[in-house]
């Protein structure tokens, strides 16, 4: 189990793809925590009586948000306690670590001599790509997202030339 989270060895493109899929599975606890947070927040903000949930008025709830969105976001911000933040961060640590280890192992298989420089460059590109995709909703964000997708496809299908991967 320890070898999956270590930054040594190499992996094939197929293994890299499977590890990427497993990262999605590892993120399920984070999704559960986020959904639980928003569910509890919605119950509290909408003042839903759990003894009589049929008494909930969806239209009144939507109208309450539309009439005063600042109050809604203030209540959302105030309900985000350190417990929720720490829970989300702790549930994301294995996902990020496993993803970075897989990325490094695949980069090591493809660019063994310059693996550290290539890995650092690709991570920086991915961070910039994510920022551009979120910040700019125009052709520039699309170009970076397509670039990230092309890098992912390259990492999967490029032959490394290594017969036996030890990662």
Q: What is the pLDDT of residues 132-163, one digit of tens each?
A: 878 777 787 788 888 889 999 999 898 877 76
Is the confidence at residue 167, as pLDDT, over 60? no
* pLDDT digit string, tens, across residues 59-107: 877 888 888 888 888 888 998 999 999 999 999 999 999 999 989 988 9
3: in domain = no
> How many Å apart are CA 31 and CA 117, to the nearest integer?
33
Give the confidence band of 52 by pLDDT, cuts at 50, 70, 90: confident
Share of the chain above pLDDT 70, in %: 92
Q: Is residue 39 part of a domain?
A: yes
Residue 81 forms part of a structural domain: yes
Give a yes or no: residue 15 inside a domain. yes
- Is 167 a member of any domain? no
Structural domain harbouring 87:
8-157
| Alpha-carbon gap, residue 46 to 36, rounded angstroms | 15
């Amino acid at each position: 189990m320890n070898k999956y989270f270590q930054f040594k060895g190499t992996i094939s493109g197929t293994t890299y793809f499977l590890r990427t899929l497993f990262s999605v599975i590892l993120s399920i606890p984070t999704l559960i925590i986020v959904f639980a947070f928003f569910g509890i927040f919605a119950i509290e903000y909408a003042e839903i009586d759990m003894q009589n949930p049929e008494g909930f008025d969806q239209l009144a709830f939507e109208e309450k948000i539309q009439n005063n969105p600042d109050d809604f976001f203030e209540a959302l911000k105030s309900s985000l306690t350190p417990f929720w933040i720490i829970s989300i961060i702790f549930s994301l640590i294995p996902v990020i670590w496993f993803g970075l280890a897989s990325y490094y192992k695949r980069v090591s298989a493809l660019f063994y001599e310059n693996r550290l420089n290539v890995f650092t460059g690709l991570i920086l590109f991915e961070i910039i790509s994510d920022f551009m995709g979120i910040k700019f909703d125009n052709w520039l964000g699309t170009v970076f997202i397509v670039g990230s997708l092309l890098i992912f496809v390259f990492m999967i299908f490029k032959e490394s030339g290594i017969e036996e991967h030890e990662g």
